Structure 1
Amino acid sequence: MATAFSLAPLFRHSVGFDRFNDLFESAARNESASSYPPYNVEKHADDQYRIVIAAAGFQEEDLELQVEKGVLTVSGGKRDAETTGVTYLHQGIAQRAFKLSFRLADHIEVKAAALNNGLLNIDLLRVVPEEAKAKRIPINASAQTRLQ
């Protein structure tokens, strides 16, 4: 059952937030997406985040991380029994290929990634440049400014 709703009231007093509309639409489309492998998104401080992905059975060379246009993509390739030299009598640990995508907010950077005890930890940090920080704008009554 699809639910249609308008975001127009949210954007009435906003400028340049077109990306949020895309984000909401993307979330609505991916609501039924696969949840493999399981993952957590953690907040460790105001500007520090971590994504933890359960990557049991994967090694570093089986995993790939890529950031493009504000989207972090984590993918893992399926390991073939032929390449591992193992014949499974029972395989209960899933090692199927996967692809997870995370849309990053402005100024979020991937700082590190490490695979420990079957968990892929991806550390993220918000780095706000000086020009993006709040600044006070003086009001000069004698100067006239015009948009051209």
Structure 2
Amino acid sequence: MSNLSLTPLFCRSIGFDRLNDLFDHALLSETQHYPAYNIEKTGDHNYRIIVSAAGFKQDELSIHLENQVLSISGKHADQTEDDTAEYLHKGIARRSFKLSLRLDEHIEVQHAHFENGLLTIQLQRIVPEEKMPRKIPIGQKLLTDEHSIK
């Protein structure tokens, strides 16, 4: 795979140095197909992640948040195969999983619930007042008298 350089995009942005690392990681890592999941936007500042965890019990699932990475994992308590059955077709996956999703810095996990084989995690964007958009007034003088240029 050829390297994708995002350098031209950064000449008009400040503070997005880590964005290039994020794209590199996304391009190099394999896309995870198990378990199936949805990411939904349910409002201006509300999101929902729904993970299909059929066959798992609630106590076999765990959710961790560390350094803005949300990790959802499932591990069956009993991973042994049924030796009495001869499978003609085995389409039900009974394997453990770990799903990791990177969250924006202002996204907070509100709550999670598990019902009918679906793990639902509610998220909300909570932007602090100092990070909200604001108008910058334009003054006539930027430098004080002692720092002024002569």
Residue pairs, 1:42-61, within 5 angstroms: 42-61=40-59
Q: CA deviation at 1:138?
A: 1.7
Query: How many pairs does the alignment contain?
Result: 141
Q: Indicate whether 1:132 and 2:131 are aligned.
A: yes
Show the counterpart of 1:96: 95
More displaced stretch, 14-23 vs 68-77: 14-23
Q: CA deviation at 1:16?
A: 0.7
Q: CA deviation at 1:72?
A: 0.5
Q: Indicate whether 1:117 and 2:91 are aligned.
A: no
Q: Deviations over 1:93-144 (max 9, x none)?
A: 3221110000111200111111110000111110011010011222222341
Q: Aligned to 2:69, which of 68, 71, 92?
A: 71
Q: CA deviation at 1:81?
A: 5.5
User: Secondary structure of the residue that 1:15 maps to in structure 2?
Assistant: coil
User: Secondary structure of the residue that 2:143 maps to in structure 1?
Assistant: coil
User: Secondary structure of the residue that 1:45 maps to in structure 2?
Assistant: coil
The runs of 5 or more residues in structure 1 that have no matched partner are: none
Compared with structure 1, are the counterparts of its residues 96 and 81 closer, same or farther at alpha carbon in structure 2 (3 Å cutoff)? closer
Q: TM-score, length-normalised on structure 2?
A: 0.84
Q: TM-score, length-normalised on structure 1?
A: 0.85
Tell me the amino acid that sits aligned with residue 24 of structure 2: E
Greater gyration radius: 2
* Separation of aligned partners in 1, 2:84 and 2:127: 49
Tell me the amino acid that sits aligned with residue 6 of structure 2: L
The runs of 5 or more residues in structure 2 that have no matched partner are: none
User: Secondary structure of the residue that 2:138 maps to in structure 1?
Assistant: coil
Compared with structure 1, are the counterparts of its residues 28 and 81 closer, same or farther at alpha carbon in structure 2 (3 Å cutoff)? closer
* Separation of aligned partners in 2, 1:45 and 1:137: 29
Q: CA deviation at 1:26?
A: 1.4
